[in-house]
A and B are shown apart, each in its own frame.
Chain A
Amino acid sequence: MKRWTKQMTRIAGVVTAGALVAACGAGGRPAGDSSSGGAAQVGITKDTVTIGATFPLTGVAAPGYSEIPTGAQAYFDYVNAGGGVNGRKIKYLVRDDGYNPTTTSEVTNELVLKDQVFAMLGALGTPTHTAVVDFLNSEKVPDLFVSSGSIQWGDDPKAKHYTFGWQPDYEIEGKIIGQWVAQNMPDAKVGLFLQDDDLGRDSELGVRQYLDKKIVKVVKYTAGNTDVAPQIAALKASGADLVLGFNVPSYTALSQLVALKLSYKPKWFYSNIGSDAELVGNLLSKFSEGAVHGTDPLDGVLTTVYIPGVDATDNAWVKLWQKVWDKYGKNGHLTNYRVYGMSEAYAFVQALQAAGKNPTREGIVGAVEKMGNAAGPPLAPFRYSADGHLGISGMRVVQLKGGKSSSLTPVLVTDIGAAPIKEDDSAANDSPPASGIPEVKPAG
């Protein structure tokens, strides 16, 4: 009998506890649960605008790329010191993802759900950003100026309404390079050296529009595998006398070193992303353990530019960036990666101004769609519209010499697909306002 009572007491206890738990749960919503999803003022207060970004600050992709946010931060410090945008200071939160999509996903959750950013700016990388682009769009977070040339950031604005590309996508770069080669080196036997992802794929698509018959060999490498000797040897064996490289900077250095070893001396044409002379020079001397110095191996190499770089010391934009960096830069000197970050930051300030005195997430998306001809550092206009969110529309072909570039063409602009390539210098001679801070009227 006693045992039975004991049993019952326990059962009663469990039931009571369960009921209590259920009652607690149904009691009410915790405060602060309503913040996500559509609320207009997320990330915006009377005197701040909070934005976020993910970059590889550590790991293999960090050299070069980790400098981009320091440039953007310096420019935001400059704007904030000048009073901010409509009285609001810009708070720029940068998170390290180590170029690992798993981490990108975690830190983007943190930026959006915990730090409650108004928008993302310049998040870097194709695989990394692929992990979060759907999430950002489902949370309705403006995802401005993704630092990657993949066309997926802008070719389908219906599916990715909040996402905007930044640099000329790899396909139009392939087209512009392909046409230039077809016109200026008609007898070339062309070899392609491609990174095996969107970078190589989209570029090859563009190049083949103009050079399909001239291509004698296509080789691909997988990022992470540092042995490119088989690829370069195959190019040499094919007799290619012009190699178009669509690769990241470390593979520019690797391909140059292997070519030196094999005494393979074709003409080299690297796409913009892989041609930063300073970084490649540093990598060359590091990889060769000091045997190769400076940027000499890159002399005569062809490439493209779409934003004036640090070598253009007379350019009004570069002067502005130098002024900003001298005053607000932390460590190191002005590099092309910092210029890239500052240019994105400049475009964001323009977009924020265009979104009006009380910006909303939907408002800034509308404003960016209308900022095609906003005067900024890019050499070519943006392509933003309601039907396309791809970024800068073109670039110049240049030749490197002693770490400096000299122009071979006017600015060439085009679009993906069969769009023709046109000369358009309209945006190349923009200069910054005297204050260094854009003065954009709210978009109507």
Chain B
Amino acid sequence: MSRVAFGSVIGHLRRTPLRRNLIGGLIGLVVVVLVLESVGPFRQGQFATMAYLGIAVGGLTVLTGLNGQLSLGHGALMAVGAYTAALMLHDVDKPLPLPVVMLLSVLVTVVVGAVVGVAAARLHGPYIAGATLALAVAVPGIASFFGDNLGGEQGLSVSTPEAPGWFADAVYFLTAHDVTGTKYLAYVGWFGLIISFVLLANLSASRVGRTWRAVRDDEVAAELAGINVGRARVMAFVVSAACAGLAGGVMAMVVRIAAPSGFTLALSLSLLTAVVLGGLGSLFGALIGAALLTFLPQTITGLGQSLGLSDLQSAQLAPLVYGLTLVLVILLAPAGLVGTIRNAWRRRQSPDPAPIHPQQEAMQ
């Protein structure tokens, strides 16, 4: 009798999204450790880059895919997080513990995100895009204007934090490898990514996520159902901003500097392209988009050079190939790489195909 009850509790737990997402997170953790331990320092650096891009793209895909708000200002929100981290890690002898720095980056960005979110909640479609576009243009200017505190055009250099002893010991115990600065940052980035993705996936499967989707699909119906539309929109923006803040904090340490030229409009737009490439609203798609953003340019440039192109030509090749990839994905797989594969899979599963519009897709 008791055994049956125990079994059913386990079975119940496994069915809850939290449980499912935690298991997914743990598997992700194992994969991360395996990958980071088996690649060289250069790839570890690239994975660190992919981690911070992944976090930001994940936040943006939730905002756009689940709540239908299009933000062109996430690069600026990353700048807020990056400058917060940089201010705490610039020329200090005893920096605060890294989790505290990351948390403060998130908090400051959340405050900025809340202000922007309140404004954005009153706007629709292209007007939100316009307002957030203004943010993307203005924020780097703020860093230049308050040059005395924020380092102006030259930015604030960030000293790479050392891995704490217990962390190095733990990694050595598990893997028999030492922890270098780059590897530590890659771990920090990927821990951040896993934590934020588990939380995002959980949120999207919860009541909050359903509210967001309801607001996205039909505002009037959502309001009639008793949902506070404004609050749902601001919430979504704040959650998304928190991700951007974390991403910015990790970015400042990986890049070792927070400077206005690192947060141009191009950054915000490239985050959006990653969302489109991976598939709107899909966290796994966000990872794929971040991977393309990270690995494609370097691979293409290297390829161009090995084909005998000049340095300049290979440098120009990378954005060209990225643009072509984007065009091809939009033409051939309009729901994004993950979305299209998922749709195809569902069509095979059910004989009566009901094509799923990317906007209406649930998040996985």
Q: Which A residues have a C-beta under 8 Å from some C-beta of B?
A: 1, 3-4, 7, 18, 21-22, 24-30, 32-33, 36, 57-58, 66, 69, 94-96, 99-102, 105-107, 109-110, 113-114, 126-128, 130-135, 138, 195-198, 222-225, 330
Instruction: Give CA–CA (A342, B142) in the complex, Å.
Output: 39
| Cβ–Cβ < 8 Å partners of A27 in chain B | 176
The answer for the CA separation of A127 and B155 in the assembled complex, in Å, is 7
Is the CB–CB distance between A21 and B42 below 8 Å?
Answer: no
- Closest chain A residue to B254 by CB distance? A105
Q: Is the CB of A96 within 8 A of B160?
A: no
CA distance A92 to B147 in the complex (A): 36
Q: Decide: B33 and A196 in contact? CB cutoff 8 A.
A: no
State the Cβ distance, B310 to closest chain A Cβ, in Å.
Answer: 7
**B41 lies within 8 A of chain A by Cβ:** yes
Could you say which of B145, B177, B312 contacts A66, with CB atoms under 8 Å apart? B312
- Interface extent on B, as a size class? 35 or more
CB neighbours of B251 from chain A (8 A)? 102
Q: Once the chains bind, are B45 and A196 in contact (CB under 8 Å)?
A: no
Bound Cα distance from A99 to B264, whole angstroms:
11
- B7 at the binding interface (Cβ < 8 Å): yes
Query: Which of B10, B46, B262 has the most C-beta atoms of chain A within 10 angstroms of its own C-beta?
Result: B262
Known: A3-B7, A127-B257. A25 touches B311 (CB 8 A): no
- 10 smallest beta-carbon distances between A and B, as pairs: A96-B315, A113-B42, A25-B175, A131-B257, A114-B42, A94-B311, A102-B262, A197-B153, A26-B176, A109-B45
With contacts A96-B311, A105-B255, A130-B157 known, is A7 near B40, CB below 8 A? no
* Interfacial chain B residues near A33, Cβ < 8 Å: 40, 177
| B312 and A110 contacting across the interface, CB-CB below 8 Å | no
A1, A106, A130: the one within 8 Å of B45 (CB): A106
Contact B298 A106 (CB under 8 A): yes
Contact yes or no, A198 B154, CB < 8 A: yes
**Bound-complex Cα distance A57 to B152 (A):** 24
Q: Which of A100, A109, A130, A134 has the most chain B CB atoms closer than 10 A to its own CB?
A: A109
> What string of 1s and 0s marks CB contacts (under 8 Å) between B238-282 and chain A?
000000000000010011110111101001000000000000000
Question: A32 — which chain B residues lie within 8 A by C-beta?
Answer: 40
Chain B residues positioned under 8 Å from A99 (CB to CB): 261
Given A101-B261, A130-B259, verify A28-B176 contact (CB < 8 Å).
yes
B181 at the interface (CB under 8 A from A): yes
Known: A36-B41, A127-B153. A21 touches B34 (CB 8 A): yes
Residues from chain B with a CB closer than 8 A to the CB of A133 are 157
Show 6 residue pairs from A and B whose CB-CB distance is below 8 angstroms, ordered by the A residue: A24-B34, A25-B176, A95-B311, A113-B40, A131-B157, A196-B144
Within the complex, what minimum Cβ distance (angstroms) separates B90 from chain A?
Answer: 11
B159 at the interface (CB under 8 A from A): yes
Contacts of B331 in A (CB 8 A): none
Q: Is the CB of A197 within 8 A of B154?
A: yes
B257 and A110 form a contact (CB under 8 A): no
Judge whether B176 and A69 touch: CB under 8 Å.
Answer: no
Distance between Cα atoms of A223 and B33 in the complex (Å): 42
B132 at the interface (CB under 8 A from A): no
Residues of B with C-beta under 8 A to A110: 42, 298
Question: Separation in Å of the B26 CB from the closest CB of chain A?
Answer: 10
